[in-house]
Structure formats: C-alpha cells, structure tokens
Amino acid sequence: MSETPSTENHVPVAQSGSPSADGSRRSGLAEKIGHYRWTICAMVFFATTINYMDRQVLGLLNPLLQTKIGWNDIQYGYIVDAFVAAYAIGFLFMGRLIDRVGTRIGYGISIGIWSLAAMSHALVRTAFGFGAARFALGLGESGNFPAGVKTVAEWFPRKERALATGIFNCGTNVGATIAPFVVPWIAIKWGWQFGFLFTGFFSAVWVVAWFKVYRKPQDHPKLSAAELAYIQRDPVEPVAKVAWSTLLPHKQTWAFIIGKFLTDPIWWFYLYWLPTYFTTKHGLSLTGLGLPLLVIYNAASVGSIFGGWLAARFLKAGWSANRARKTAMLICAASVSPIILAARTHGLWETVALISIAVAAHQGWSANLFTLASDMFPARAVASVVGIGGFGGAIGGMLIATFTGFLLQLTGSYVPIFVISGSVYLVALLVIQILTPRLIPAEIQGDALA
C-alpha cells in the first residue's frame, strides 16, 4: 500500500517545561496532559450501549407480543422493516443536522427522539402502532454513529481516534449482551411494557447528563490547557460548513460509502439471523441461546477495542496514517475469512469460535472504517460523511435480509451467506485502496450546507 507522510506522530512539547530528552521528564509531561477526553468517550460508549439495548427489546419480546398483540410473522417483518427503513433515511439527514447545529445539540436531539420512541412502544396495542414506534426509533437511533464519530473527531487527536472509536463502538456489543438477560426478566416480573420503559428511561437520563457534561474542548471548564493543546495538536481546520454537493464528487466519500455498503450488512446478518441459525442447525432452544451469544458478543467487544488499539500502536511506531489504518483493516479482513467454514462445522462450540473471531474482526474493521472518515475529511464534514455511509450500510442491510430470507426458503443452506461474509471485507478493502491509495484528505470547499 502506498504511504503518505504522517503528521500524526509529532507530539508538541508542553509550554510549561523546557524540552528534554530525559524519559522521566516526558513521562511527567504525559501525566500533566489529563484524561478528561476519555470521560467524553465514556459518554458516547454509554449512548451506544443504550442504543443497542433499545433496538433489541422488540426482538426479545416478539414471542410474547405475538400472543398479547396478535400479530403474525409477516406483520412482524413489516415492523422490523419500518425500523431499518427509518434508520437508512435518518442517516441521510441526521449527519447533516449534527454538522449544522453541533454535536452537543445534535446528539441530544437524536437520543431525545429515540428515548421518546422507545417508551412509546408501551402505549401502543396494534401492529401498525408498533411499526410507527419502530420508525421513530430508527430515525432517532440513526444519529448515534454520526454524532459519536464527530465527537471523537472533536475531542481526540488523530493518533487516538481509532482507539476511542473502538471503545465507544464496543457499546454495541455490551448492549447486545445485556439486553437478553435484563429485558425478559423485567417483562416477566412487571409486564412487557416495562421492558420498553426501562431502556427508554436510561436514554432520557443520558440526555440530561449529556447537556450537563458536554461542551466543545475549547469551551470546557474542566479541560486543562495541556490536554486542550494535546487534543488540538493536529493542523487547524477551517470552520465553514460543507454542502453535500462538495462531498459526493470525492473518491474519499465513495470509498467510505462502498466500505459501509459491503460490510455493514454482515453485522446485520449476525444480529438478526444467528439465533435462527443456532436453532435450526444446532438444535438450541430459546433459553440455550444465551451462552453462545454471550461469548460471541463479548468477543466482538474485544475486537472493537483491539482494532482501534492496533492502528494506534502502528501510528505510535511511526507508521503513516495510510499504512497504519489499512494494515489494521487488512488484518481484520483476513481474520474474518475462516467464517466460510462455519456452515460446514458440526460442533456447536467450533462454530461459536469461528463466528466469535469473525464478529471480533468485523468490529475491529468497523472502528478503523469509521476513523477513515475523520482521516479523510475535516471535522465539520465528518458527521455528514458518516451519515451518507451509514445510509449505504443500512440499504445493504435491507438487501442482505431479503437475500437471506429467499436463500433459506429455497435451499435451507447458509453456505452462500457465510462465503459472502468471509470474503466481502477483502473486496471492500481493495475498493478502498483503489479509490484512496494514499489516504489523501479531501479538499473541501467552505460552502454553506445546502
């Protein structure tokens, strides 16, 4: 892979002390920098955790609700489609909204919408009502990743962004792990309505905390001057807004869109089809799914953090952003490949091991793919680019759901989908390399948002 000169590894010397080659002096300066930026990262992590808890409640309670509400499988499919469609549509404008009004207000609006939408499920009693609630939930939840990636771009220097993104991105796995253990228990003890009210309540609490805690780094009273200088160590970017018409012509935009379109659907496949796969191919009961899914989603959490750490480690070793990011993505893409064997594996835990490696590698890939957006675009355009790419990923998710349904109905075989899952990451990385061989930042004009 071609390289570009790296500016990410030059660490400015703190103004309060004279430069020194002494290791202890450098260690002391590092300690004085501070760590408040990681508090902001933790806020985004908790938002992402709640995001994935909220979206899983309906699936977990579906067997109960089919009896209570009386919908059939076809109607349930339409309800799920309502969420995915709104999620795709929301990606188109949520990113622009967040770029326009700023991260503090934009993130608050996003989670405010999904908090109300999550709790509104407790009030409806028809399939149509649940579809409407899911549509609103999809619109609100679509803002999480554009806002999260933009928050990281504002609060972290480039060398730490992949690690910070990996940390907050593993909230998806934590949420997916917590929900199956908490939500059914709440529904049985207090009623299904409280399953939706529980997660919606935590979303509302997060919004209040966000408005209390979050400010831009330069405006935050708890941020030290040393840490602010560390965060702003990269070249200053212009503050003018960016029109979509200036984003779409760039190869960098299409590299991100295609990367999301090709690989996001694999994650959607894991989320929606793994329980069915384990039930039909390995004979697991509903209660027997807990431990395999716990292992898989915890592996995904490790992979998310490791993928971000790996790129950061390469950067710390003096590699360019281009070489570090793409090497980390290549390692992740290659690590997914053994999933091709899953459909031919007969042992349950051999299959769980293969899938665990694949989901861990996917999340490591995803952390670096998100960070590509902040590598290739100025902070003022990051949320819009992530939103456009997220739309492409959601469209891919809808397509793979339809494809998988027809495939299983006609053949009952998971082999083709596992083959696709194991090979598409390498294809995506090849496309990214062709479109952005040197990872040169896009030259964006400072036009106002259209």
CA–CA gap between residue 62 and residue 292 (Å, rounded): 20
Q: Let me know: does 319 contact 327? Beta carbons within 8 Å.
A: yes
Element (H, E) at 407: helix 379-410
- Tens of pLDDT along 350-373? 999 999 999 999 999 998 998 888
Q: Where are the domains of the chain?
A: 35-435
Q: What is the average per-residue pLDDT within 125-150?
A: 90
> Phi/psi class of residue 34: alpha, beta or left (left: φ > 0; alpha: ψ in -120 to 50)?
left
- Tens of pLDDT along 30-72? 457 788 899 999 999 999 999 988 887 877 777 677 788 887 7
Residue with tokens 């082999």: 415
Buried b (16+ CB within 10 A) or exposed e, 163-184: bbbbbbbbbbbbbbbbbbebbb
Q: Is this model's pTM higher than 0.75 or not? A: no
H-helix segments, 144-170: 144-155, 158-169
Q: Let me know: does 211 contact 103? Beta carbons within 8 Å.
A: no
Residue with tokens 């730490």: 160
Q: Let me know: does 292 contact 352? Beta carbons within 8 Å.
A: yes
Amino acid 112: pLDDT: 92
pLDDT above 80 for 145? yes
332 falls in which pLDDT band (50, 70, 90)?
Answer: very high
Instruction: Tell me the chain's radius of gyration from C-alpha atoms.
Output: 22
Mean pLDDT, the chain, as a whole number?
82
- Nearest Cα to 376, choosing from 247, 228, 240? 247
79/331: higher pLDDT: 331
How is residue 413 written in tokens?
Answer: 């075989």
Give φ, ψ of 365 to 5 degrees.
-60, -45
What's the distance, Cα to Cα, between the start and end of the chain in Å?
A: 36
Element (H, E) at 114: helix 103-120
- Tens of pLDDT along 416-427? 999 999 999 999
Q: Let me know: does 428 contact 333? Beta carbons within 8 Å.
A: yes
How is residue 140 written in tokens?
Answer: 């609100």
> How distant, in Å, are the alpha carbons of 7, 42, 148, 364, 369 from that of 355?
37, 27, 27, 14, 20
Q: What is the average per-residue pLDDT within 250-273?
A: 90
For 35-435, give the CATH class.
mainly alpha
